[in-house]
Structure 1
Amino acid sequence: MIDSMFCYQCEQTIGAKGCTKAGNCGKNAEVAALQDLLVYQLKGMGFYGDKILKKGYEIDEEICKFVADASFSTLTNVNFDSERFVIYLKKAQELKEILRELAGNIEGNIPQEASYKLPETKESMLMDSKKAGIMYDQELDPDIRSLREMLIYGMKGMGAYAHHAHILGFISKEVNEFFFKGFNAVIDDNLTVDDLFNINMEFGKVNLECMRLLDEANTTSYGNPIPTEVTITIKKGPFIVVSGHDLRDLKNLLEQTEGKGVNIYTHGEMLPAHGYPELKKYKHLVGNFGGAWQDQQKEFDGIPGAILMTTNCLQKPRDSYKDRIYTTSIVGYPEIQHLSEVNDKKDFTPVIEKALQLGGWSEDEPEKKILVGFGHNTVLGVADKVIDAVKTGAIKHFFLIGGCDGARPGRNYYTEFAQKTPKDTVILTLACGKYRFNKMDFGSIGDLPRLLDIGQCNDSYSAIKIALALGDAFECTVNDLPLSLILSWYEQKAVCILITLLSLGIKNIYLGPTLPAFISPNVLQILIDKFDIKPISTPDEDLKVILG
């Protein structure tokens, strides 16, 4: 029995130091241990994979997909099911053996992560997991550990983006190969602090390519998002709430429910789906239910409908809706019904039948709407008007206020900051952090709404593309634009986005509500010296500094 753990990969880690008994996210010590051992296995795969790639050989696409998916599975609030991790671990051992054979004879020392052989039973795996823990090597230089963990967490985030692109048929050789280089780098004792910092910056640029690929995958599959009003009140009748980030699952569900009298609501990071032409054309995609992921236990409590969780942002289900919540893809929770893919298809019949059985809401609420759909194609389509507004002084400043939401006290900072931005400024927002203020009326500047919802965290490429395009238009760098980035973070997708921003040389980023526990004091100082990264203080003080 495992009764202790150490995890500090997310923002809500206990005491801003580390979760040691159970995760604040809800994972227990057993799941944490198996996740550690899976990352350990991925490091071993990275060792052999890097050797293969340096010989000029390619690695089978299915092995690359497994590495991305397995990385994604260990991301916060994705999978809480220990039995699923046993399956991942056994598959990792099988694929590691294939890579070992392909690598051939290797001179020099072979790290224990590569030579490790997985035992057959979960109990033995749990015993072995002790040597896979983050703090197992007490003698390791804390700055080396910090930069290694930062790279691992970045790759977990990129694993999510690579997964979503891959299932739509979009694959990057550059992205696939970096996973092996990155996992090998974190067990290479010859690498210095400078080496690891540079590899993190290299990773940031690879992740930019991964985000670009995902943007291409989504827009090719579903069209470019367009400004769309979304109903945020409930309608009479049976319904399914779809949460997570997987647009393909939503599309498949919409197809399977068409004409069956079941309304579909998005939840959390699914909200931007309403802006995509190939999704919004379904008349039974009727609106968005609730807010950000951390409110789901309260919002789902006993609702008379079914719930489908497609990716991360799952919390421990309450008994009041345990019989009506379903997981699919990477996500999982013990004793919750899981819908698997068979021959590239998913059958959502169980969740549809549950929705019809429950009957749904008995009456409509008075209708309220919000506006979404301001992806890079839309915003850059009116770039001439935006540029003119800046030149005439109608727009004085842009604020990108976005990132992850969470339950930790202090996140009201982002609500207050948005409310206090001057009326001659524009707010760009994305990811679930926007739920802190996206139902407020900020007015407009001319024909342009002051609040522009760019999308979910998977749409971060849009924000970067908009910023780079504005820099080109004004013949300056992003750092010289009247643009400030006010970011909130929670999990590892936020980590990979931050590393990407830094790799582009973007400075003066405000980060909160707390700084990552895995960043050592010396590494933090490097980030401050190179990029002038800042912890948030108060909205009034930060606005005063930004606006001079």
Structure 2
Amino acid sequence: MEQKMFCFQCEQTAGCSGCTGNAGVCGKSANTAKLQDELTGALIGLAKSCGNNPKTENTDRIIIEGLFTTITNVNFNDETLKEMIAKVKAEKNKIVPDCSACQNPCGNTDDYDMNNLWNDNEDIRSLKSLILFGIRGMAAYAYHAMVLGYTSDEVNSFFYRALSVIGYDMDMDLLLPVVLEVGEKNLICMELLDKANTETFGTPTPTTVPLSVEKGPFIVITGHDLYDLKLLLEQTKDKGINIYTHGEMLPAHAYPELKKYPHLKGNFGTAWQNQQKEFDHLPAPILYTTNCLMPVKPSYADRVFTTEVVSYPEMVHIGEEKDFTPVIEKALELGGYEADREMTGINGGKTVMTGFGHGTVLGVADQVIDAVKSGAISHFFLVGGCDGARVGRNYYTEFVKQTPKDSVILTLACGKYRFNDLDLGTIGGLPRIMDMGQCNDAYSAIKVAIALAEAFDCNVNELPLSMVLSWYEQKAVCILLTLLHLGIKNIYLGPTLPAFLSPNILNYLVENYQISPISTPEEDLKKILG
């Protein structure tokens, strides 16, 4: 008999309070949730064991991989979770091999029981949840950078400290600085990943991406891992197979070292939460490289492949050898569409643009600054974040449609699929909608905001810039904490506020950072523009 669960880490959590039944809204079972808690408790035990004992690069990798595994929509496979737990415990036994034989156990290296957290005082639980969910999101970014050979001792060391903090009794005054430190360290981590991506694949350039699919065999690749895409492009060269990105992989089209492959054709479908409909009976395989996996429907179960930390029961997993032969063979077997198929975004657009990272935008900074000074640009809106299935997310589409024609919309992550196929025209030769990239490319938005503030000799909060953010999972949490660390205020957040924020902690954020829940596009635009 499956045991009941408690999970409130994502935006879609049941009743805006927490999933407590036999399965979460995301689709994971109560047993899977229990194993993820057990894995988290083991990671806390490993982190505490390293307090007075030397860790290794392998320990770092295990900590990052374990945290990434527990993000929403990454791993639904109990067997691989058990393997990950065993790997964590084995690593701890290497670091403190004599603990189990100790005659006077101190308990300092014990695995942590997550029920202690879920049943704690609601304010303590809230602050520790912000720390835990924040470092889970940050671990995803650290993982992608690590795959490309880029690491940060400062970031890695913080994972250990943050995990240890969760396992100790601490009051609010001690926990709050750690919450903000998650944001500080995540900024370093996003900078690291930006460097890894641009030094490996080049600086993104503005690129128009078609949404239609050509006839013949093809593969859809989804997630965030650009290196997996690079390997897939290499292995499919000259095989008559086209490659289409999906979801957060869309910005890959802007990187010179990826766009040079002629068989990287376009983008398939829209945001992650539409996959069960869009992949239904798809005549092509889908390769999942990171999170954004939903429970797989029988109509396309035979064509789902996973890699890295993504795992789902009975799906073919591509291991560390990165041999995508099974995916390639499935693409040739299925054959793709018999004729070219025209597709559109949710607003009917046939193409989308991407590639407006900080390298591009700051490259025309003088042009942007002159446009602001002349009045050609009246306001900047950062409208981005995670998409999701909850009713009310059309708010972001309507908000963008109603923004003044002399304003610019910066966007990033998969929330942009609500409006990125709209044609809102240009200002001074620049498109009004600029896709800055994946969720981690919030770093680009921060770089641009800081540069504009310096140009106008003011702070970021004094700029004609408003942030209207959508959240879904834990990477959005660490990005929000980064914005708070930077002192950025007046953020509009939706479609709902996080269930793990207690009333007292929410009041603190409102009073100190003026975070506001979204209302209606009309009301919010009126407040923003006065």
Q: Structure 1 residues 89, 17: closer, same or farther in 2, change over 3 A?
A: same
Q: Is 1:65 matched with 2:61?
A: yes
Note the residue ranges of structure 2 that are not aligned, 5 or more in a row.
Answer: 344-349
Q: Is 1:14 matched with 2:17?
A: no
Corresponding position of 2:51: 50
CA distance in 2, matches of 1:421, 1:51: 55
Q: Is 1:285 matched with 2:264?
A: yes
The one-letter amino acid paired with 2:496 is T
- Say which of 389, 405, 409 aligns to 2:371: 389
User: Does the 8 A contact of 1:162 with 1:210 survive in 2?
Assistant: yes
Corresponding position of 2:29: 28
Q: How far off is 1:464 after superposition?
A: 1.1
User: Does the 8 A contact of 2:215 with 2:337 survive in 1?
Assistant: yes
CA distance in 2, matches of 1:185, 1:341: 32
Which segment is superposed worse, 451-460 or 377-386? 451-460
Q: Is 1:435 matched with 2:420?
A: no
CA distance in 1, matches of 2:28, 2:445: 32
Spell out, residue by residue over 1:321-348, the C-alpha distance to the aligned partner (whole angstroms, 9 max, x if none): 1111100110010011111013xxx100
* Counterpart mapping for 1:134-533 below 5 A: 138=119, 140-189=120-169, 191-342=170-321, 346-366=322-342, 368-533=350-515
The one-letter amino acid paired with 1:240 is I
Spell out, residue by residue over 1:268-308, the C-alpha distance to the aligned partner (whole angstroms, 9 max, x if none): 00000000000000000000000000000000000111110
Moved over 6 A (4+): 102-106
Q: Secondary structure at the match of 1:338?
A: strand
Q: Is 1:535 matched with 2:530?
A: no
Q: How far off is 1:421 after superposition?
A: 0.2
Q: How far off is 1:47 after superposition?
A: 1.4
Corresponding position of 1:79: 75
Corresponding position of 2:87: 91
Corresponding position of 1:126: none
Spell out, residue by residue over 1:396-435, the C-alpha distance to the aligned partner (whole angstroms, 9 max, x if none): 0000000000000010110110000000000000000000
Corresponding position of 1:122: none
Corresponding position of 1:124: none
The one-letter amino acid paired with 2:440 is N
The one-letter amino acid paired with 2:397 is T
Q: Structure 1 residues 110, 403: closer, same or farther in 2, change over 3 A?
A: farther
CA distance in 1, matches of 2:47, 2:123: 21
Which segment is superposed worse, 459-468 or 72-81? 459-468
User: Does the 8 A contact of 2:414 with 2:438 survive in 1?
Assistant: yes
Q: How far off is 1:446 after superposition?
A: 1.6
- With structure 1 as the length reference, what TM-score do the two structures score? 0.93
Q: How far off is 1:62 after superposition?
A: 1.1
The one-letter amino acid paired with 1:404 is C
Q: Secondary structure at the match of 2:340?
A: coil
Q: Structure 1 residues 304, 193: closer, same or farther in 2, change over 3 A?
A: same
User: Does the 8 A contact of 1:7 with 1:134 survive in 2?
Assistant: no
Spell out, residue by residue over 1:3-52, the C-alpha distance to the aligned partner (whole angstroms, 9 max, x if none): 31000000000000100121111100111000000101111112122334
User: Does the 8 A contact of 2:211 with 2:342 survive in 1?
Assistant: no
CA distance in 1, matches of 2:361, 2:504: 39
Q: Secondary structure at the match of 1:439?
A: coil
CA distance in 1, matches of 2:35, 2:155: 25
User: Does the 8 A contact of 2:99 with 2:105 survive in 1?
Assistant: no
Question: Aligned Cα RMSD in Å?
Answer: 1.8
Q: Secondary structure at the match of 2:73?
A: coil
CA distance in 1, matches of 2:98, 2:486: 36
Q: How far off is 1:109 after superposition?
A: 8.6
CA distance in 2, matches of 1:222, 1:291: 24
CA distance in 2, matches of 1:50, 1:64: 13
- With structure 2 as the length reference, what TM-score do the two structures score? 0.96
Q: Secondary structure at the match of 1:399?
A: strand
Q: Secondary structure at the match of 1:371?
A: strand
Corresponding position of 2:110: 115
CA distance in 1, matches of 2:7, 2:48: 24
Corresponding position of 1:123: none
Q: How far off is 1:202 after superposition?
A: 1.2
Q: How far off is 1:134 after superposition?
A: 6.3
CA distance in 2, matches of 1:205, 1:88: 28
* Percent of matched pairs sharing the same residue: 58
Corresponding position of 2:347: none
Q: Structure 1 residues 222, 141: closer, same or farther in 2, change over 3 A?
A: same
How many pairs were matched up? Answer: 522
